[in-house]
């Protein structure tokens, strides 16, 4: 079945039309829910393909996809069928027992990556937390480092737990959460000299680098792709020293970049890597993958109550099998090229506003001129007023992460809407 056949005309399906209702009143919501998010003033209630509708019946073209999470868009028939069947059969049991869906998903990941072993959890932060624990144990038991240090990149993002927020190389996320977890140091991204110096400076006494955690492409840090030369050098340095190389694929994995994993763009294989967001198309799941030589956790050292339950694994299997069966990686590559071409044309038309377009596949960013007052949030709000959903990637980068089923017509529509929104700032 073609992509076009899977995504019905979003303006007409019967299940997606309803009379407009009164504007959503967030008063009770705000009185009950912790204010940990700066929310935009719309309430979404349903979706189909690459479109969502709010409680007032307004239709939006969704180029956020749950922040690179709704791999197959909304209400995709393969995902609907999988979760319906599984919830009617067995949705959760303890990992004290064998879970066939978990084993099948682990094998699928191994067959489509460099991994030999998989551990399942519920989120990207948990997957990265597990990678940090694995790196600590490996450093102590295998590398015999008394005080191991993990290097991470400046402008990185690895999660919201205390350890992963420490691993995140952005001071704004650290504020008010001291004392942070010891054992992390930060280096500039794509900077070979800084990497070499950091490893050399820490090679003394009982403190050494035990692991390095990097994103193949920095998502929250501004949609900044990794450079081939840098990652080839990084891999060689880890091979020469025994340092574990961990790649955070939470945002870029599962086809988002036009390849199944981000590391495939960089000519290397990691020792350990993590996944979450797009793995089950919006059903919560995370995964920690590793090569056999560093699979050193023993029973009781790491666990997850909900991790790898039948429901989440059935959803992830449906998503991944659909990616393969429908050849969606090809669509990601084609639509990514189309989107970057359209965005670059807009950037050339408004050179005082935009300075660069960059990305891989269907994770792309437009960087705003640092010398103007306009922010990414300003552009996102203007696009939202025109019924296009976008998301910032830092204060000066607008991010485009539509579902991987997005059509050529929808990419063109998004570019047209963006240009209408941007015109207002150029007047």
Catalytic site positions: 157, 248, 277
Backbone angles phi, psi at 4, to 5 degrees: -65, -35
Task: For residue 367, give the nearest of 385, 340, 388, 387 by alpha carbon.
Answer: 340
Using an 8 Å Cβ cutoff, are 368 and 396 in contact?
Answer: yes
Q: Peptide bond before 268: cis, by omega within 30 degrees of 0?
A: no
What DSSP designation does 122 have?
S
Q: Coil, strand or helix: which one is 170?
A: coil
Q: What sign has the CA pseudo-torsion 17, 20, 22, 26?
A: positive
CB 419 within 8 A of CB 63: no
In terms of Cβ atoms closer than 10 Å to its own Cβ (0-12, 13-18, 19+), residue 14 is exposed
The residues, any chain, with a CB within 8 Å of residue 329's CB and separated by 6 or more, are 255, 258, 259, 260, 323
């Amino acid at each position: 079945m073609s992509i076009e056949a899977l995504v019905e005309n979003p303006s007409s399906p019967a299940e997606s039309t309803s009379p407009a209702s009164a504007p959503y009143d967030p008063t009770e919501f705000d009185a009950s829910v912790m204010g940990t998010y700066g929310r935009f003033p719309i309430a979404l209630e349903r979706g189909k393909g690459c479109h969502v509708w709010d409680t007032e019946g307004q239709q939006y073209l969704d180029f956020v996809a749950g922040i690179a999470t709704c791999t197959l868009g909304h209400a995709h028939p393969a995902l609907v069928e999988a979760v319906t069947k599984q919830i009617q059969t067995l949705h959760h049991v303890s990992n004290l027992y064998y879970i066939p869906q978990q084993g099948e998903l682990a094998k699928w990941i191994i067959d489509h990556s460099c991994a030999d072993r998989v551990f399942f959890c519920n989120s990207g932060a948990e997957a990265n937390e597990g990678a940090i624990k694995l790196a600590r144990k490996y450093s102590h038991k295998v590398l015999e480092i008394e005080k191991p240090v993990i290097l991470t990149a400046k402008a990185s993002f690895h999660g919201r737990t205390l350890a992963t927020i420490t691993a995140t190389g952005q001071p704004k996320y650290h504020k008010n959460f001291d004392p942070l977890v010891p054992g992390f140091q930060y280096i500039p991204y794509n900077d070979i000299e800084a990497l070499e110096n950091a490893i050399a400076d820490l090679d003394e006494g009982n403190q050494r680098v035990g692991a390095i955690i990097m994103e193949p492409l920095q998502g929250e840090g501004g949609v900044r792709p990794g450079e081939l030369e840098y990652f080839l050098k990084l891999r060689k340095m880890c091979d020469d020293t025994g340092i574990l190389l961990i790649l955070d694929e939470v945002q870029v994995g599962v086809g988002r970049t036009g390849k199944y994993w981000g590391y495939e763009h960089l000519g290397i294989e990691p020792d350990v890597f993590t996944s979450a967001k797009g793995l089950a198309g919006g059903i919560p799941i995370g995964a920690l993958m590793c090569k056999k030589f560093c699979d050193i956790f023993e029973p009781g050292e790491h666990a997850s109550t909900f991790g790898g339950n039948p429901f989440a694994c059935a959803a992830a299997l449906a998503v991944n099998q659909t990616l393969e069966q429908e050849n969606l990686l090809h669509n990601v590559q084609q639509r990514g090229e189309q989107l970057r071409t359209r965005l670059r044309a807009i950037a050339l038309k408004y050179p005082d506003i935009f300075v660069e377009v960059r990305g891989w596949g269907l994770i792309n960013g437009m960087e705003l001129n640092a010398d103007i007052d306009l922010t990414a949030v300003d552009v996102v709000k203007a696009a939202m007023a025109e019924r296009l959903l976008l998301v910032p990637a830092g204060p000066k980068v607008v991010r485009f992460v539509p579902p991987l089923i997005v059509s050529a017509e929808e990419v063109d529509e998004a570019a047209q809407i963006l240009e209408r929104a941007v015109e207002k700032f150029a007047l």
